[in-house]
A and B are shown apart, each in its own frame.
Chain A
Amino acid sequence: MSVYYVNKFLYQVDGDPGLLAAYKADPAALVERWEADYGRRLGTNNSVETTSWLHFTEAERAALVEHDYVALFELGAHFFLTLTIFIAIYDDDYSAASGPLSFQREYAAKLSHWLDKDYPTVAL
């Protein structure tokens, strides 16, 4: 488990319009590029110092490549980061097709098997 690294991906990509557009257009390519570059940078904005040991598990990488917010929820990725980035990617298209909040409601419905249960922790 490297939930911190998943959150770092979501944080950096959501905060950068160029990365966000790339993540929408070709998630697999962007995840690969991020792992080779941004993910290696120490913290979130250092272009010289690097971190050598952080990496995704296969399940984490697959969830990011597939935009699988249910899997990310279940892996313990931070709910705010996950919601925000997928609203950025999907909300406009869903709203145009099915009305306001249709993406957010589908998102909730896909997590409905967690109602009345303790959610996976987002604590690190």
Chain B
Amino acid sequence: MAELAAVLATTHHPFFLKATELTPPDERMPQAAEWKSKVEAYRETLTAAEPDILVMVGADHFHQFFQDNYPTFLIGKQPKYDATFYNEEREFGLPKYLLDGHEDLSGFMFQGLLDRGFDFSISHELKIDHSIICPIITTRPAADLPVVPIYTNIFAPPLPSPRRFYDLGRAIRSIIDEYPSDKKIAAVGSGHLSLELGGPRQFGETGPDPVFDRKAIDWLASGDIEAILENVTHASMAGAGNATHGFMDLILMLGIAGPIDASYVDELDLFHTREMYMTWYPGGDPR
């Protein structure tokens, strides 16, 4: 059976590459060096797991999908995936990528999800946006591993519940555990802590709700799903910032890891968000 070698949950700040490597050193923001060094240290937690395949969790930000047909949960099943849309290049300076897919695991995952009551949509022409490319840039910049992309709706309400995200993570975990392969699989998902976009609390000196951020990191780091499900609702996330619902993809990643302590936890306050870098090793820490 396949081995789940690592589970990574991270915020995806689309300006990381632009703020660090794409800006000349003397023009960089004061935190650029610290930001880069934290990202590089985080990258080591994936490298150390020596994965063969990446199961990637993210959410389309109205790049490919729109409200004429927005999938609640969707998986790609393709030999290749183009990545980065015109308006992401324009706004964030993100490069284009062509990632390899892993059709066999995508198909096994899709069937396994149906069998477990998660009636996914499936795409054979999915283009990947920054929710998956940002963690590729930060945790696997060589972009040399085949991926299985899973998209959730944290973006176009009404949304599934936090519990549903956790349960989906648990289902993904059991499917990985049953996958008949000797490959090592890492799950890498991205989302948000408190975040405001297009509202009165956007682009402040900190994220819109540092108190929520503190609790959220502590809950995830200690695997405390009970506290999350007691405290985190659609309304409470909206209270922390209008785009905070991306936290549910981090709950999903805890679902893949299971209710265990994280082996790596780091964070960084930027000008309008707090970044979080977390890794669980369900089978033991390889470092």
Residues of chain A within 8 A of B197, CB atoms compared:
79-80, 83
CA distance A7 to B66 in the complex (A): 9
A84 CB within 8 Å of chain B:
yes
User: How far, in Å, is A40 (CB) from chain B's closest CB?
Assistant: 13
Size bin of chain B's contact surface: 20 to 34
Q: Which residue of B lies closest to A77 (CB)?
A: B198
Tell me the chain A residues, 92-124 only, with Cβ under 8 Å from chain B: 101, 104-105, 107-109, 111-115, 118-119, 121-124
Residue pair A43, B199 in contact (C-beta under 8 Å):
no
Say whether B62 contacts A81, CB under 8 Å: yes
Which single member of B86, B199, B203 contacts A101 (CB below 8 Å)?
B203
**Which of A7, A11, A88, A122 contacts B91 (CB under 8 A)?**
A88
B237 to chain A, nearest CB (A): 12
Q: Give Cα A82 to B202, complex, Å.
A: 13
Of B67, B204, B243, the residue contacting A4 (CB under 8 A) is: B67
Q: Does A47 contact B (CB under 8 A)?
A: no
Among B69, B200, B243, the most chain A Cβ lie within 10 Å of the Cβ of B200
* Residue in A8, A78, A122 whose Cβ sees the most chain B Cβ within 10 Å: A78
**Which residues of chain A have a CB within 8 Å of any CB of chain B?**
4, 7-8, 11, 14-15, 17, 42-44, 69, 73, 78-84, 87-88, 101, 104-105, 107-109, 111-115, 118-119, 121-124
